[in-house]
Each structure stands twice: as C-alpha cells, then as structure tokens.
Structure 1
Amino acid sequence: MTPTHDDRPDALADRHVPDFDPVAADDATVTGPNVRITVLSARVLRLEYDPTETFEDRPSQLVWYRDRPVPDFAVTRGDDRLVVETDALTLEYDHGIEAAFTAETLSIELEDGTVWTYGDENEGNLGGALRTVDEVDGAAPLEDGLVSTDGWAVVDDTDRLVFGEDGWVEPRDAPESSEDLYFFGDGQDYETRLADFRAITGEVPMIPRWALGNWWSRYWEYTQDELRGVVEGFDERDIPLSVAVIDMDWHVVDNAYHDGWTGWTWNDEYFPDPAGFVEWLHDNDIKTTLNLHPAEGVHPHETQYADFAEFMGIDPDSEEPVEFDAADPQFLRGYFEHLINPMEDEEGVDFWWIDWQQWEQSPEMDGLDPLWALNHLHSLDRTRTGKRPFIFSRWPGLGGHRYPIGFSGDSYISWPSLRFQPHLTATSANVAYGWWSHDIGGHMGGEGDPQAFGELYARWTQFGALSPINRIHTTKHPFVDKRPWEFDGAITETLEDALSLRHELIPYLYTMAWRDHTEGVPLVRPMYYHHPEAEAAEESVHQYYFGSELLAAPHLSERDDETNLARRSVWLPEGEWFDFVTGEYHEGGRWLARYGDLADLPVYAKAGAIVPMDADARADTENPERLRIVAFPGADNTFDLYEDDGTTTAHRDGAYATTEFAQTFDGDRLTFEIGGAEGDLSEIPDERAYELQFRGVTEPADVDVEAPVEAETTYAAEEATLTVAFDAVAVEEGLTVSVTAAGESLLDRRDRTRSHVETLLESFRTHVTVKDHLLADFEPDGVAWLAEYVRVLSTVQLRALAETITGAGVDVLDHDDADRLVVWNPEDAPVTYQFSAFDWTEDPFRMEHTADRGDAPAFTAFDVHEAAVEGEVRLEYDGVFAVTAESEAEEKPEH
C-alpha cells in the first residue's frame, strides 16, 4: 500500500512519495520456521529470516514492487526440510539442523546445475558502479554489481531503511539477527537479470531530450556576460550546445558563517539579473543547472533565511542556522518550498547539480545516506509541474538508476583517467545505472602542454560523443581552456566534428533512452551481455555496445611519435560488421589493431544496422525536419524511431509517435521501408525530408523508389555508400527503396589492406624514399618482404605494418587492476609468440618464472595477476622481426 499523507507540517508532499506496491501476493509466499520465502519470479526469490517471524512488508529504500505476477512453483515440506522449486531453480532449507540461514541450512540450485550455498562469495562478479572518482588518477575500484559469471547474485537488503506512514524513511523494527536477501538466479542471461532487478526496484525514468545534447561546464567565476559570450561563441561557430552549467560561484561565497561552498543567494556582482539571463538562455534553446553543496544548511546571510527559519520554528532574530537534516520531513519540505521551488519558478532553473561530497551517514538517522535522500526527493520533486524526474548527482548505491543522471566526480586530466571512463560506463550497466555524465576532458591536473592536452581533450570529446551524456568540464584553472575554438587546426576540427556528431545522433540516442525506460536496456553495455560465452568479451572492457545497432571503441591512447597515429585493439564479435563512417566490411569473431589519425573515431555497425540521425546538427534538440537514416546491408532488421515532446511525463499517457524503419536483405537485393508515423503526431513536424544512406554496399545495378515525392540517387565508390534523398513528405506517408546488386552480392567486401598501408606510410616519420619503396614492394600475403626495411623502420612502424597486413597482433589490456596480455592471429599467419612472466614469491629475494611459447592462435590471453608481476609477450612475424607487449609492476610486494 502507498503511505498516506495529510496536511501535517511534518509530512512530505504527495509528489515526494512514489506509488509503491510492496506487498507480495499471498500465494507467492512460503513460510517455514523463522523464514519467509517469496517467489517474485521463476528466477528471483526473497529470503527473509526473523526469529520473531515478524516479516517486513513496507517498501525499502531499494525494493518497492513485490506484488509481481506469481509464477508456477512447487513446495515440498518434510519434518525438517522445505523445498521450493520453480522452472529455473530449486531452494532447499534444512531447518532441522538450525532454524536460521547458514551454509548448512540454505542452498539454491540453478537449472544448469550451479549451486549457491548461503555465505558463498561471488567470485565471478563483474563489477558495478562507484560513488566518485574524486582524487583518483586512472582506474578506481568498482563496487560489486548484479552480473556475475557465477550465474547468480545476492542483494542484502537487511540494513536498508523502510518507508513509514509519513512518506519518509525510518529504521526497521527487527531483531538484530534478522536477514532480508534477494536471490537472482538468471545464469548468463544478463539482460534478464537487469529486467528482474528493475521489476522490483523501479524503472529508469525517461530523460529529457535536451539532456542528450552537448553541455558546457566550467568551475569558474563567470559573470552572466562572460557566460553569455561562451554560449554565443558556440552559436557563432555553428557548434551545437544544449546545456550551460553554472557552477558554485553563482551564489554568494564570502560570508561570516562558513567556507562558502553552500549557498542559496545569487551573487548579484556576477549575476545582476539571473532571471533575465536564464530567460536569454532559454530563448537560445539552452537549458541550465545550478551547482548545489547543501550540507551547511541555511544561514542568516541568505535571502531565504527568515522565511525558512520561521517555517522550522526558529526565531530569525536569533540568527540560529537552519541545519541540514535529511532525516527530518519538516526540514525537507521546507528545503523544497523555500529554497528549490522558488528558484525554479522565479529564476527558471531547469534542474539541479547536487554536488554532495560530505558524510555518507546522516547523524540524525542511522543508515540514512543524505546523498540518497537528496537524489530521491529532488528527482520526484520535479514532477510537481509535469516534468520528468531528472537530476545531476553522484551515484547513491543500488537503486540509483531511478534518479538519472550521474556525476562521476572530479577526474584527473590524464590518459589513464580517460581509459577508465568507458569501462566504468559500460560496467555500471550491471547495476542498471546507464546515464553517466563524466568530466569530458578531465577536471583537474594535467601537464599544461597545450598540444598534448589538445590531443587528449579531442579523444575525450570523441568518447563523450559516444557516451550517455556529453558534458565538457574543467576546474578553476586559467591555463586550461576547453572552448573548442581556442585550439589549433586539427584539434579544433576534431572537437567540432565530435560535437556535431553528438547532436546528429540524438534521434538514435533518444530512441535508446525510450528502450532503457521501457525495456531496461542501458544505452552503453559491456560486450559480455551479448556474448557471455566468448572469452574475448570479458577482456575487451574498453569497448562497448552503443545502443542496439553500434559498437564503440574510441581511441584512448596518445599518438605515437614514430607513426603519428593512435593505436587501439578492437574485438569484433561473431557476425558481419561495417565501419560506421567508411562502410568497410569486417568479418567478426576476431581482433584487430586499428591505427588512426586525430579524426579517426572507431565505431562499428552490425550487419543490418539502422541508425536514424538528425541531418542538421543544430543547437536545439527538437524532433528533426530532415532525417538521415544510415543503414547497412547483410541482415534483416527493424528500428522504431521514438519521438515525443521531450520534456514532460505525457509519454506515460501515450503521447508519443513512432516511425518504423524496416529492412529486408537477400544477398543481391535489399528493400528498405520507411513507415508512416503513428501515434500522437502533435510534437513532430508535419512534413519531413529523408536522406537514406546505405553504407558498405557495391554500386547497384538498379534502385527502385516508391514514394509520393521526388528522390535523388548518388553513389560514392570510395565510401561504398548509396544515398537516396527525398524531398519533404507528410510524416504519415510511407516510402520504399529497393536496391539490386550488379553482381552476386550487395556487400562491398573488397580488401582495403593496401589503402590502409598507404595511410600508415603517409603518417610515418621516415624518409619519403623509404615510403616509395615500401609501397612499391607491398605484398598482401605475409610480411617476409619487410626484411629489407628492418633497419630503416622503427619497431613501432614495423608492428603497424605487420598488424595491418597479417591481422595478427598483441596488446596489454588493463582490466580491473590486473593486466591481461592478449595475442590474436585470426588468419593463421606464420606468427609465433613467447610469453614470460616473473612473480614475486614469499621469499623477497626470489622470483618465480612462467613461460609459454608456440604458434600464435586465433586468440589467447595471459593473466598478469598481481601488482608485483612483470609479464611480456613477444610476437615474431615470419621469422623476420619481433614486437613485444609488456606489463610491469609499479612496486614490489611487501614482505
């Protein structure tokens, strides 16, 4: 039942209390001595132990929905044994030994034979999210997630607070020995695990459409005119922008009461007309947020102090501060009514950056994390005016998926920090937390070299374009300026391209947001979600699925001086794949080494992929009048474009439109249909122009168009792209394009090795005569011919040529603080490997040596387990030259 409310001053507003449904159906529960088992699904059990048999039916901070459809299950009872069996698992509780949960009394067997015993460690846990990357340069330890190669997960809800009748949380009244556990037994079906979790904890809200555009953020003492100048700079250069963040100096900092981080009063020296400035932002299609550090409460220097103090029963003349208290419903109600809501209503603030960095436990209530309280209440408070639940805050632990979006914290400006962010983003799907906002470009630190920083910033921004939220940010440092136009040449061009791409992708991203909201599938997902049996899936932690159609593997390492290119290893799963930009065909089930200049952004589309894009990368994020649909051959597919008003909760009542794109592929023929828009069409254009791009196709023999408007057809051979452009047509109208190949297949499978070698040579730092001879001597079969160039090329250059020609390579992957040395050779080239490692033993003067060698296989990986291990893989090509990948310990172990 939903907690009831009245008009008492200590009750929270109705909007602050969700519509809970916490009491399970009677026929879903099974009781035994001191225990209650609730069958929430065939794969999910609630396990309660209470010596008083007073079990908890109120919603907890995490679990809100226990009244689930009851699956079929069987119960067997003996004198001292209870068995509960579903289609997916079997629970045994042997209370004859002891009426309590112990390793001897409680176990669950999954349908594949896996057995969980109470107290087992989840050794195969694949990680989750974290609260913050503050003060971490590089990787940070992740908390456990819900996904595990063990096939099961257990969530302990025992110590979480429950919601009381006043609508706010309170401690449980339960014996100290009681337990409240949730067991998930989904095996390797990781997306089902997430669906089961969200079924009992709640959905991910639909985020606003404008949040998917580019954000500008800087911790800086901006005046409103200075910040206006930044926004105008983006507009003058046609660089799209949708959000301008105003960091903490929007409010009065200097005061007689505290250090100034908390504040509620506009600094009129910087912002003499805050409402007018925010209105100007809105007129220019820019949303805004204010940074909050609310821990110090409200003091007498604040304009809101007198009213808030009286509301709290404090005499304003006493100048007694209104202390922050997340445990007090009265304070919390006043917090919104006197601080938050007026600034939204009077100044037009769109949402709040809740930058909580203080204590994790409320001093007034044991077990209450103020960060969770702020996230929960701020998110729900937005719904008072029909807006969607949306905040910008740190991750508060399990259940945080209900409060998008996340601020990962103050990252360092470094390559290791950039390399960690894709891993963190993807792995957070394991706790259903799909909407991260990172400090793109890094928050603090750095070496101050403009050129080196520019490369790092450009690569970070490319990742930002392919991440959930793209928020450029930096700290208050005069020597770090991230305005895209403040760089030279290629860096500025790369930044502009990435930021434009981001806005072009919004139709695709917004549809993925709907998918996350309705189906529980995050935008960014680890590779092992779709390939749980593939060893390579767990190794490739720095690449990820980006929506339903794409695989992203952005460059995360700096350019090499000898090649003038960045390098990264990519694993393509089984199937057929295409380079999203060039249309180049790749057979899957293999690794490859990719070399690219600053403009290179590795994104791959699966066979049959359909990606709708905004044909105009504009500052606003509205439903587009011109739509570019990028499609790839090789498979049948459908894609339902989702559109609505972008801001309100009207979608819950069906106020949205969908347009189906359907492709059928039959080797030498492809048919693509753009269906008429259906549903509520009030928020989409009456007419829409379409540009349909088929990438990765051969030049066709025939293109047949069925449409009520004119279409223009062009073919670009170098990009293997056929474009069919339509004039504007009513969105209710359907269009059909049929493409017939000139040969046996529409797939452009031509070998582009020579072209890649030419690109390498163009970038190499070596004499042009050497480049001429290399290209003249080029042979696609093997690299024995490179023997003549061993003395004139560097090892790095030889490696780039060998990996490109043979497809065989080696790399060291940093994976959760344990390096992995990987080798691949998908074409069975004449390549041998030699692995060696040195482990420190218990004797501080001795090391243990491990070695392995042989012909390089299609794929293998070597563990480098501890921080005190050195490892190396040496790869020899055709017996001509060798390259190595090394992992070296930072320090010896302590003895």
Structure 2
Amino acid sequence: MFTVCCGLMMTTPCMAQDVNIEFYTPNIVHVVKGKPTKTLVITAKPENVKTVRKGNTWMSSELTVKQDVNGSLTFLTAAGKVLLREKNGDVMKARQTFLLDKDEPIYGLGTIQNGKMNRRGEHKRMEQSNLEDFQNVLQSVKGWGIYWDNYSPTQFDDDVDGMTFASEVGEGIDYYFMYGGSADGVIALMRHLTGDVPMFPLWTYGFWQSKERYKTAAETESVVDRYRELQVPLDGIIQDWQYWGSNYLWNAMDFLSEDFTDGPQMIKNVHAKHAHFMISIWASFGPQTQQFRELSEKGLLLPIETWPQSGLSHIWPPRMDYPSGVKVYDAFSPVARAIYWKYLKTLYNYGTDAWWMDSTDPDFFNPRESDYEHKVTGGTWRSLRNAFPLETVRGIYQSQRKDYPNSSKRVFIMTRSSYAGQQHYGSNMWSGDVASSWDMLRKQVPAGLSFSLTGNPNFNTDIGGFFCNAYNTKGPGSAPQNPQYQELYVRWMQYGLFAPVFRSHGADAPREIWQFGKKGEPVYDAIEKMIRLRYRLIPYLYSTAWQVTSQNGSYMRPLFSDFVDDKKVWEMTDELMFGQSILATPIVNPLYTEEQIIKEDAMTGWDRNNVKMKEIKNEDVDWSQTKTVTKYLPQGTDWYDFWTNERRKGGQFVAIQTTLDRVPMFVRTGSILPLGPEMQYVGEKSWDSLELRVYPGSDGSFVLYEDEGDSYNYEKGVYSTITFQWNDKMRTLTIGARQGSYPGMLQKRQFIIVLPDGQHQTISYEGKELQVNL
C-alpha cells in the first residue's frame, strides 16, 4: 500500500486527503481516500504484486497509476493507453468524479428499468427497491470497470462535468479499479474480488410455474397433476405467500393456515410427481410469530414501514386502522441471521428444495429521517441500506451449507433484490413486480444484461409481467383469453427462454398453459413449443452453467461482449447472446394486435382499477399469418437461422419471416450445439443419445459438462467433460476423450451429428477420442 499526499512529498500540511493505493492483482487497484469502508463484499486478499514506483507513478505488469499535483489519479494500461481519469473528489461527502472519453459507452449499475444499456447521461439515485436494484459496478467498452464500495444510497450522475458517484454516508472514497480488457474480463475480476458462482441444480433449468398465489395445498398440487396429465414439461412449482395464515403470522415459516394443514405431505406428493418445490419467505415477520418475539427481545427488528401494511389480508387498499405490525429483521446481525435460519430449517426439513426470498430490498414505505438513522448492526440503516439483500441471502446460503454439508441439495435462492457479490451465494434475482406491457417487456432485455455486467449472471423475470389487470377485459382473471395479452405472454415467454431461470408468474390472472386454450390451438401450441425447446437446450445450458462457474462466463451476454468492434451493437437493447453460440433476437413489439400504453408500478398494480383497454375479439386475430421482423446480425461471423438453417452474413440488418410460435434465433459459425431429448421433467430421460448440431464456417469447440445434477461433489472434482472440436478446413469433428467421472455416469452413448444441410451421422462413443469426417 502506498500513501501519498497531493502527489508531493511535503513536510507542510496538505489540503488534500492522503490517497492509499493497493494492487490486489496486477490489474486490480484498490483506491482509498480518507476512511475505508468496512467491506461486506470483498472476499479476496491482496496478492503479492510486483510493482515499481517512480515518483508519483505506480506500475504493475498490467496497469499504471499516475497522480497529478492536485492528487487526482489517472489509470493507464502498461503500454500507456489512458483508461480513466479522476477529476475532483470530496472525501467528507464520499464523492468522486471521473472523466470519460466523449463517446465512451459505460454499462452496468444494476436493473435500471428505463430501457437503456449505455449509462451516459444517466442521473439515478441508487437505493434498492421492488423494481430496481443496484450493485455499484460499472464497466466501459474500453475494458475497465469500477466497483464503488459504499452501501448507503448513492447518486450516480453523468453529465458535462463528468461521471460521479456520491454516497449519502461515508467518511471517505473507497473503490476498486479493474482492467479486464473486455466485458468478460471485468466480470472475471469482479468475481475474483467477491466470489465465484456456485452451480445450481440441473432441474432448476427446467420450466417453473407459479402465481400470486395458490390458496390451498390441494390447488398447488393439482397444478403439477395437470401438467403431467397434459404431458407438458414442468420441473418446479412455487408456493407464494400466506400459507402461514393471517398477516399477523406473516412469514411464520410453517404451514399454519387451515388450507395448508397438509403442507408437508403436499411437498412429498410434489416430489412423487417428479417435480420440485420452492416456497415464499420474507425478510420480515408478523407480531404473532415466534421469530418476531425472539428478534424483538434482542432489539433486532427495524422500525421501518414495510409490506404488508395492514393486518387484514383480504381488504385492499390497506386498512391502516388495523396495522399489521410486521417488521423487517436486522439482516446485518449474525445473531439475527442465525435466528432466521433456526426457524427456516422447519421448512427445509419438510423437504423444501428452494427458497423464494421476496422483498429482499426490502419494501420501505413512507421513509422518515429517523428510519434512516436507526442503528443496525455495524452502522445505521442509511449507511448499510443497499447491502441488505446481500446479507439476508448470504445468511441462508452459508447456514444451509454449514448445517447440511453432505446434503444432496445445492442451495437455490430466488430473490427480488441483489447487491455486488451476491452471485457467490446461490441466488438468482428476478426483476420485481413488473407490469404486463410491451414497454416493460422491452425494458427487461437491457435490465437483465445490465445486471449480468455487474458480475451477477443469474437473472429472470415474471413471464407475462406480474400485473396483467388491464387485459382482464372480460372480468377478473380473463387476460389469458384476451388476444392482446396472449401475444404479449407468448413473446415474453420466448424472451424468458434465454434466461437462466424459465418461470411463469403473476397476479390478476392465472398463467398455467391451459388458461390460454387447449392443445391444437395456436396460443397454447406456441407456449408448449417454447417449453419443449427449453428442455432440448438444457445440455447446452447446463454446460454454459459450468462455464459460468469455472471460467467466469455469463448466460445473458450483451452483444458488445462478443463483438466489441461492431459499434452498431454498443447500445442494442433487443438482442443478446445466450451463452457463446446462440444469438437471441426476441420479438418485443406486437405483430398481431395493437399496443396500448399501460402505466402501472409495484404499488398501483395492486389497485386493480385500471381503465381497461379496448377489447379485441379472438376472431379478429389471425394467428396463422406469417410476419416479418428486422433484426441485426453482428459482424465478424456468419449466422445460421436456428429454424431454417439458412446462412447469413454478419454486419447487416436482415428481414426474418416469423410466426407466433417461433422466436428468431441464430447460431454463429463454428458452433457445436448439443440438444437433449424431449422430456416431462429433468432426469426423466438420460442423455444417451444427444443431437450435436455442427455449424460450419469457422473452427469451433464446445465442452459438454455433466455431473450428478445436484450436491456439491463437483467442487471435489466429481464431474465429467467431453470436448468437441470442429476443424472447418478439414471438415472434421473431434470428440475428445472423456475427462473425469461421477456416480451414475453414462459409459456408452450415441451422438447424432447433424449439419445444416441435413447430413447426419450417428456415432457410438465409449469415452475414447474419436474423429468424424463430415
């Protein structure tokens, strides 16, 4: 660590604060001015980095840091290319301004719901909420990134004066500058600082069904029964809130409602149907719960106003003359986290497979100054506010792994909020109670990509949007029979196909597939087609998951991650790479019905008194029509249409013929895409006869990853990989020798190799290297 004062070695007092510069790695620099943050996020320790100091310049093998006479820093590559400059900072206000190049795009910060990718010109107060979540991680198209280590609400501004972080609490400036050279490089460095991404269970990549809410155990179980009866694939069912009874028993973490007296048996029955069970838990407790009493006795409850505001759950708007008394717990306290887990183990021991952690922002209504100044463990509510989701999620992950070290269950948490580093604690974030509208669907694409760029790869969204009340033109719950909603839902599902978690959920109307019609009808068939395609893609998706864990990859990738030299993609918000091979170009505008403006947010959606849209009758919509959309194919490679196998040049906009049941998607040349069998649930059929689609045009490779599907044995090396390599000039596919093993591993299998021109060969494989000429 180096301490300098204004860049001058002086004996007289200096007006600027000392600057502490510490190289964590050759390409990560920790900068502190004033008092450092007591970090909750950084888990890495500084390496013994070889550095050279020349006056007010510090050099590693990858980075150079210079300080000018005013104390401001400039970050450069080892070759001397300027990456980023500080301008002015204010230590006592925890404020720092940086200077960017004039046309330099910057990305990240979190799930900002404004439809943009580039954060230039952004002015945003970053405080966790239902619909927007912030990680304080930013990166540039030039390959540098910043993590601003401060947990209080923070103002981000970019304007003519520069790019500024200004936090509400802090006695210093504390940030990490990272130079990764690319988007993937920055993500890798952020995970180096904060933790890698553990594997999720294989079954989590199947289809999930949920709604607000299944009101009885029998109803929850019946949904699984119906999917099995219809032979539509399903792997997860979610039980939302109020299985505990009244709001005064809020989040009691047990089946106390008279409609769920057979809750534990329900879970067993769900398992018997080859499905998995996730349950809603919250960061708050009702006054009649055991948790509330124990936490209250220890002073570990917050005085903030939170959801639900009224104790009367059946009345809306809330009756404030019957306050719920529900309070948020102090997740910053290890004692409080231990109490939380002690009671949650009841549900775990019933057989619960996964946690739906709602309101981890948490909901914070009508904030008062005294609320922000309330003392919590380690600081005040204001000083630690944004790290709340990290601490509550981390508490469950660490406790479950500690108490069940030999469990066959990997931790899987779905949470409504996230902070930097949360990728390390078994969590996937969804984007909150988004409204059902085309505008909101369009915003989900850049929101998910922006979240991924902060190092958190696991994102999903309520397919169809949470609030669909405006589409209930024929009465409550009728939206699935409204053509306007049907088209929106299908296109949202086609976008959801490319998320790590594929999950249908919402209020105001049920979303199960049979609500939209029956087999043989176009809307039903379009939904079923996407669910079936998802299951065929699972070998590709699970192998991508291994790349996320082992190589710091991402599922949802903005186009500039792979095609940074193509400036047309720098601000593209309606396309993404799904893993390394698939270009996803979801349709985010209506083609069969009219778009109407719908304005709802996380609170107004509950009012359910919207002005309804003009009704369109089913007979007025011809779903059989073929439509045309225009999409962009990035330059630097050719692309194959996934559906037609037509090859197209990159670097151009192309017109695509599409139908309701087809999402435009392309595969880059050199790709090797493994497709699994159709199945009703993950594990129903083995991968003993995988289809390998090979896309000629350039060399390529793919690593097929397999393990037991659950447990943490993979951390001990209990897994196998098979590397496929395509030599385009020789038109040879090399199937490498299998590496590693795990219990239950297939010893013999077939690969059905398919080319875009229809050629195919079936190859028997027993683990030894093979070469196939095509």
TM-score range, shorter chain: 0.7 to 0.9
Q: CA separation in 1, counterparts of 2:333 and 2:759?
A: 63
Following superposition of structure 1 onto structure 2, how do residues 464-483 of structure 1 map, counting pairs within 5 Å? 464-477=496-509, 482-483=513-514
Alignment of 1:358 onto 2:347: no
Following superposition of structure 1 onto structure 2, how do residues 20-59 of structure 1 map, counting pairs within 5 Å? 29-33=1-5, 34-50=18-34
Q: Please state how far the C-alpha of 1:267 moved relative to its aligned partner.
A: 3.9
Q: CA separation in 2, counterparts of 1:735 and 1:569?
A: 38
Tell me, yes or no, if the aligned pair for 1:62 and 1:398 is still in contact at 8 Å: yes
Tell me, yes or no, if the aligned pair for 1:133 and 1:411 is still in contact at 8 Å: no
Tell me, yes or no, if the aligned pair for 1:208 and 1:647 is still in contact at 8 Å: yes
Q: CA separation in 2, counterparts of 1:382 and 1:624?
A: 30
Give me the identity figure in percent. Answer: 22
Q: Determine which of 265, 268, 277 is the counterpart of 1:276.
A: 265
Alignment of 1:212 onto 2:217: no
Alignment match, 2:663:
601
Alignment match, 2:536:
504
| SS of the residue 1:673 aligns to | strand
Q: CA separation in 2, counterparts of 1:145 and 1:131?
A: 13
Q: CA separation in 2, counterparts of 1:636 and 1:733?
A: 22
Alignment match, 1:660:
723
Alignment of 1:374 onto 2:374: no
Distance change in 2, residues 1:539/1:349 (3 Å): closer
Q: CA separation in 2, counterparts of 1:606 and 1:293?
A: 43
Aligned partner letter, 1:182: Y
Distance change in 2, residues 1:223/1:147 (3 Å): same
Alignment match, 2:229:
236
Following superposition of structure 1 onto structure 2, how do residues 646-685 of structure 1 map, counting pairs within 5 Å? 646-666=709-729, 670-685=731-746
Q: Please state how far the C-alpha of 1:311 moved relative to its aligned partner.
A: 9.3
Distance change in 2, residues 1:313/1:569 (3 Å): closer
Tell me, yes or no, if the aligned pair for 1:308 and 1:322 is still in contact at 8 Å: no
Q: Determine which of 627, 630, 634 is the counterpart of 1:565.
A: 627
Alignment of 1:345 onto 2:349: yes
Following superposition of structure 1 onto structure 2, how do residues 517-528 of structure 1 map, counting pairs within 5 Å? 517-528=549-560
Alignment match, 2:216:
223
Following superposition of structure 1 onto structure 2, how do residues 483-498 of structure 1 map, counting pairs within 5 Å? 483=514, 486-487=517-518, 489-498=521-530
CA deviation vs aligned residue, 1:299-331 (integer Å, no higher than 9, x gap): 33x4777888899999xxxxx999723243322
Distance change in 2, residues 1:340/1:239 (3 Å): same
Tell me, yes or no, if the aligned pair for 2:527 and 2:661 is still in contact at 8 Å: no
Q: Determine which of 639, 645, 651 is the counterpart of 1:589.
A: 651
Alignment match, 2:642:
580
Q: Determine which of 145, 148, 166 is the counterpart of 2:140.
A: 148
Instruction: Could you tell me which runs of 5 or more consecutive residues in structure 1 were left unpaired when the two chains were aligned.
Output: 1-28, 162-174, 315-319, 696-719, 740-895
Alignment match, 1:772:
none
Q: CA separation in 1, counterparts of 2:565 and 2:48?
A: 31
Distance change in 2, residues 1:689/1:176 (3 Å): closer
Aligned partner letter, 2:524: T
Alignment match, 1:183:
177
Alignment of 1:76 onto 2:76: no
Aligned partner letter, 1:146: L
CA deviation vs aligned residue, 1:835-859 (integer Å, no higher than 9, x gap): xxxxxxxxxxxxxxxxxxxxxxxxx
Tell me, yes or no, if the aligned pair for 2:720 and 2:741 is still in contact at 8 Å: yes
Q: Please state how far the C-alpha of 1:252 moved relative to its aligned partner.
A: 0.7
Alignment match, 1:399:
421
| SS of the residue 1:332 aligns to | helix
CA deviation vs aligned residue, 1:75-94 (integer Å, no higher than 9, x gap): 013xxxx2102344322234
Q: CA separation in 1, counterparts of 2:679 and 2:504?
A: 18
Q: Please state how far the C-alpha of 1:186 moved relative to its aligned partner.
A: 4.2
Instruction: Could you tell me which runs of 5 or more consecutive residues in structure 2 were left unpaired when the two chains were aligned.
Output: 6-17, 88-96, 116-127, 154-168, 302-324, 473-478, 594-621
Tell me, yes or no, if the aligned pair for 2:539 and 2:676 is still in contact at 8 Å: yes
| SS of the residue 1:250 aligns to | coil
Q: Determine which of 556, 572, 597 is the counterpart of 1:540.
A: 572
Q: Please state how far the C-alpha of 1:628 moved relative to its aligned partner.
A: 1.6
Tell me, yes or no, if the aligned pair for 2:486 and 2:516 is still in contact at 8 Å: no
Q: Determine which of 448, 467, 474 is the counterpart of 1:425.
A: 448
Q: Determine which of 677, 690, 708 is the counterpart of 1:645.
A: 708
Tell me, yes or no, if the aligned pair for 1:569 and 1:591 is still in contact at 8 Å: yes
Q: CA separation in 1, counterparts of 2:722 and 2:680?
A: 22
Q: Determine which of 287, 295, 299 is the counterpart of 1:299.
A: 287
Aligned partner letter, 1:602: P
Q: Please state how far the C-alpha of 1:332 moved relative to its aligned partner.
A: 2.0
Q: CA separation in 2, counterparts of 1:272 and 1:625?
A: 42
Q: Please state how far the C-alpha of 1:268 moved relative to its aligned partner.
A: 4.3
Aligned length: 637
Q: CA separation in 2, counterparts of 1:93 and 1:305?
A: 52
Q: Report which stretch shifted further, 560-569 or 121-130.
A: 560-569
Alignment of 1:266 onto 2:284: no
| SS of the residue 1:227 aligns to | helix
Aligned partner letter, 1:44: I
CA deviation vs aligned residue, 1:342-386 (integer Å, no higher than 9, x gap): 210134343343333423969332123332321121222231324
| SS of the residue 1:248 aligns to | coil
Alignment of 1:721 onto 2:758: yes
CA deviation vs aligned residue, 1:195-219 (integer Å, no higher than 9, x gap): 1221111112212211111000111
Distance change in 2, residues 1:113/1:299 (3 Å): closer
Q: Please state how far the C-alpha of 1:66 moved relative to its aligned partner.
A: 2.5
Tell me, yes or no, if the aligned pair for 2:458 and 2:500 is still in contact at 8 Å: yes
| SS of the residue 1:582 aligns to | coil
Distance change in 2, residues 1:372/1:582 (3 Å): same
Q: Please state how far the C-alpha of 1:156 moved relative to its aligned partner.
A: 2.5
Q: CA separation in 2, counterparts of 1:362 and 1:638?
A: 55
Alignment match, 1:336:
341
Alignment of 1:107 onto 2:99: no
Alignment match, 1:703:
none
Q: Determine which of 471, 484, 509 is the counterpart of 1:447.
A: 471
| SS of the residue 2:759 aligns to | strand
Q: CA separation in 2, counterparts of 1:541 and 1:321?
A: 39
Aligned partner letter, 1:106: L
Tell me, yes or no, if the aligned pair for 1:686 and 1:731 is still in contact at 8 Å: yes
Alignment match, 1:705:
none
Tell me, yes or no, if the aligned pair for 2:279 and 2:352 is still in contact at 8 Å: no
Tell me, yes or no, if the aligned pair for 2:692 and 2:751 is still in contact at 8 Å: yes
Aligned partner letter, 1:92: K
Tell me, yes or no, if the aligned pair for 2:74 and 2:82 is still in contact at 8 Å: no
Alignment match, 2:752:
691
Tell me, yes or no, if the aligned pair for 1:574 and 1:590 is still in contact at 8 Å: no
Q: C-alpha root-mean-square deviation of aligned residues, in Å?
A: 3.3
Alignment of 1:202 onto 2:195: yes
Q: Please state how far the C-alpha of 1:572 moved relative to its aligned partner.
A: 3.0
Q: CA separation in 1, counterparts of 2:109 and 2:64?
A: 27
Q: Please state how far the C-alpha of 1:662 moved relative to its aligned partner.
A: 2.1
Distance change in 2, residues 1:733/1:539 (3 Å): same
| SS of the residue 2:754 aligns to | strand
Tell me, yes or no, if the aligned pair for 1:124 and 1:148 is still in contact at 8 Å: yes
Aligned partner letter, 1:36: N
TM-score normalised per structure 2: 0.76
Q: CA separation in 2, counterparts of 1:280 and 1:46?
A: 52
| SS of the residue 1:249 aligns to | coil
TM-score normalised per structure 1: 0.66
Q: Please state how far the C-alpha of 1:109 moved relative to its aligned partner.
A: 3.3
Q: Please state how far the C-alpha of 1:679 moved relative to its aligned partner.
A: 0.6
Alignment match, 1:459:
491
CA deviation vs aligned residue, 1:383-415 (integer Å, no higher than 9, x gap): 132443431102322223223200211111111
Q: Say which structure, 1 or 2, has more relative contact order (CA 8 Å, 6+ apart).
A: 2
